[in-house]
Structure 1
Amino acid sequence: MRAKPRLLIAGCGDVVSRALPWLLQRFRVYVLCRRADQAARLRAMGAVPIMADLDHPATLSRLSGLQAALIHSVPPSTQGETDLRTRKLLSALQKNVPRQGKSAILAQPSRPAVYISTTGVYGNADGRWLDESSGAHPDSARARRRADAELQLRAWACHTGRPLAILRAPGIYAAGRLPTARIERGDPVIRPEEDSWSNHIHADDLAHAICLALFRGRPLRTYNVVDDAPSRMGDWFDEVADASKLPRPARITREQAQVQLSPAILSYLDESRRLRNERLKQELRVRLRWPTTASFFASLF
């Protein structure tokens, strides 16, 4: 029987875990783990845990020269404007790999790579529609770290001949990962005439897109993994409140928000954009299970 190709997962959180059963049918899956309980759970599912921590390069020796497809979803650290974790991961993978000519690279079987980035790299667009051809103009340090990771991965892919797909994800939601805590705290939202546009994707749809990108992603291609219906941020919180049987948040002016809301929340409110997803549907051929947040909430009832 033909051996399964290898796949390395760096960052097996909620979304990638949803994709794991599908991936295990098609790959010999290796997963970076930092905790023994996580390793035991993944081993029971059929994956091969590798105890390693991207914040501690000495633990990454087992990745040296590993020839495998890659799913990278480890978020950058919370400091600085460069993604040191991605740099350490790529350095470990490239260690002890001899330099090869173009003909040797082309002769190798395809080992695709998928990176889960963020739509935050677009920055504020004042509500305009954007697609993947729109330039990256990150406004926050967290988005600049993601943009730096994308650049690092592009350079690595060009050097190694790897097909790389970059999936830019917006706010991810699912049952059990809704912003109910913020509503329960009584945090207000911006009144409609001043509100920002936001984009969403269900965790299952993002997991599905990751799987398809391994096989259908075009080299060095970026994909907006968003649903069909951007919404005003306040409307999103109203939807969550209604579904959770909580009072809708109070509405305030943007000027009042500068005093009443935290800098972290304000940084999200200062970014307004609507994202197109034609490339997701046409090239990856993703059929969204939840094309709108309204369709998801309707299913709950």
Structure 2
Amino acid sequence: MQSAPGGYNSCTMNATRTLRRPRVLIVGCGDVGTRCVERLRHRAHIFALTSHAGRRAELRAAGATPLVGDLDVRRSLARVAGLAPTVLHLAPPPKTGDDDTRTRALLATLTAPRVRAAAHAHLAAHTPLGRQRRLRAAWTPHKTARTRIVPDGPQRARRLHAPPRIVYASTSGVYGDCGGALIDETRPVAPGNARAKRRVSAERQLRRAAVRGGVSTSIARIPGIYAANRLPLARLERRTPALIDAEDVYTNHIHADDLAAILLRMATHGRPSRVIHASDDSTLKMGEYFDRVADAFELARAPRVSRIEAERQLEPMMLSFMRESRRLANERLKRELKVRLRYPDVDDFFRTVRAQRLQRKGQD
């Protein structure tokens, strides 16, 4: 094998470059998380926490190091403690209750190394060396040496003392129904359902942890996410109705690629404990959005019904989204993060879709 100058071969140099890359942990690496991996894979060492062991090959192929752990089983999270200074928390809350126990477990895990580091510093200052070693041995879990991913050393020691930076993917649903008003990030939260209450719980846990110095956090409040693989085509094909315009609600949107870019920008430029609306410039009612999708894909538009008729025909989950109307201002996104959206509104995306369809027809 050919050696590089100084006696290092190419494998050693590649390994060294990998170890020097910034580390990012993605918790909940679904569609948006995978888009983040795609953007980061050549400039960061990415770890992806998943509760499904069967996804390891998929995540590895995408460019991430998979870790199997379940936010509902705290002891399974031990390996992520102190692993990366930047954490993208994209995992949803549990499906029941008003409290986000998953965020609670994650925070407890991520802040534990800093607690231990502070305790070790106290030992060094006040305890004889031999007793320090015995106490540290007692503190260290029995299997830590076999499960350790990151080697001990000065860099790991610095990470233990620096609070991790968490970017949390929340939802605009925390505001509840705003009657179609244009709102900014100073609007008080008023969750109208259990899903939104769990998101508020997660936000408050993160804020409290930041006040205590355990983490640094930024919060993205996210509206409806769309992309080529995230469109209501099946709904349109089923002829599921939308509300008549007079009773329809305003919705907000963000393309999944733009959302990934926003989350990564927040990780590097987001202000501590700051909320950002991760929303585009669209101002559409729900039925109008469905019409845009139908027209772009040459489908029949959704039939329109009154709210009373919708209550009789639609499932409770779908109805819950038809009870909340708001428009999100995104000045902070542009002013503070200097984000330039690839798709400033949904019409930009659908123009691209139509152009691609025409191009394919021309090739046929």
TM-score category, normalised to shorter length:
over 0.9
The 1:260–1:44 alpha-carbon spacing in structure 2 relative to 1, beyond 3 Å, is closer
CA RMSD of aligned residues (A): 2.1
Aligned to 2:101: 84
Give the residue type in structure 2 aligned to 1:190.
Answer: L
Equivalent residue for 2:88, pick from 68, 71, 91? 71
- The farther-off stretch of 171-180 and 54-63 is 54-63
Q: Is residue 6 from structure 1 mapped to residue 23 from structure 2 by the alignment?
A: yes
The 1:213–1:198 alpha-carbon spacing in structure 2 relative to 1, beyond 3 Å, is same
Aligned to 1:299: 352
Aligned to 1:201: 254
Aligned to 1:23: 40
Aligned to 2:12: none
Aligned to 1:276: 329
Choose between structure 1 and 2: higher helix proportion: 2
Q: How does 1:156-171 map to 2 (within 5 A)?
A: 156-160=209-213, 162-171=215-224
In structure 2, the residue corresponding to 1:98 is in which secondary structure? helix
Q: Which structure has the larger Rg? A: 2
Aligned to 2:111: 94
Q: Is residue 176 from structure 1 mapped to residue 229 from structure 2 by the alignment?
A: yes
> Using the alignment, how far apart are the partners of 1:237 and 1:74 within structure 2?
27
Give 1:58 deviation, angstroms.
2.8
Q: Deviations over 1:153-203 (max 9, x none)?
A: 111222235331101110000002101111111111111111110000000
In structure 1, the residue corresponding to 2:188 is in which secondary structure? coil
Q: How does 1:1-301 map to 2 (within 5 A)?
A: 3-98=20-115, 100=118, 111-160=164-213, 162-301=215-354
Question: 5+ residue gaps in structure 2?
Answer: 1-16, 120-157, 355-364
Give the residue type in structure 2 aligned to 1:126.
Answer: G
> Using the alignment, how far apart are the partners of 1:300 and 1:184 within structure 2?
18
Give the residue type in structure 2 aligned to 1:162.
Answer: V
TM-score, L = length of structure 2: 0.77
Give the paired residue count: 298
Give the residue type in structure 2 aligned to 1:112.
Answer: R
Give 1:244 deviation, angstroms.
2.0
Give 1:93 deviation, angstroms.
1.8
Give the residue type in structure 1 aligned to 2:251.
Answer: S
- The farther-off stretch of 283-292 and 43-52 is 43-52
Give the residue type in structure 2 aligned to 1:114.
Answer: V
Give 1:29 deviation, angstroms.
1.5
> Using the alignment, how far apart are the partners of 1:37 and 1:261 within structure 2?
34
TM-score, L = length of structure 1: 0.93
In structure 2, the residue corresponding to 1:7 is in which secondary structure? strand
In structure 2, the residue corresponding to 1:97 is in which secondary structure? helix
Give 1:42 deviation, angstroms.
2.2
Give 1:67 deviation, angstroms.
4.8
> Using the alignment, how far apart are the partners of 1:261 and 1:51 within structure 2?
37
> Using the alignment, how far apart are the partners of 1:94 and 1:229 within structure 2?
39
Q: Is the 8 A contact 1:163 1:218 kept in 2?
A: no
Give the residue type in structure 2 aligned to 1:260.
Answer: Q
Q: Is the 8 A contact 2:167 2:266 kept in 1?
A: yes
In structure 2, the residue corresponding to 1:76 is in which secondary structure? coil
Give 1:28 deviation, angstroms.
2.0
> Using the alignment, how far apart are the partners of 2:84 and 2:34 within structure 1?
22
> Using the alignment, how far apart are the partners of 1:77 and 1:265 within structure 2?
19
Percent of paired sites with the same residue? 45
> Using the alignment, how far apart are the partners of 2:85 and 2:46 within structure 1?
9
- The farther-off stretch of 169-178 and 53-62 is 53-62
- The farther-off stretch of 268-277 and 161-170 is 161-170
Give 1:94 deviation, angstroms.
2.4
- The farther-off stretch of 176-185 and 272-281 is 176-185
Higher relative CO (CA 8 A, sep ≥ 6), structure 1 or 2?
Answer: 1
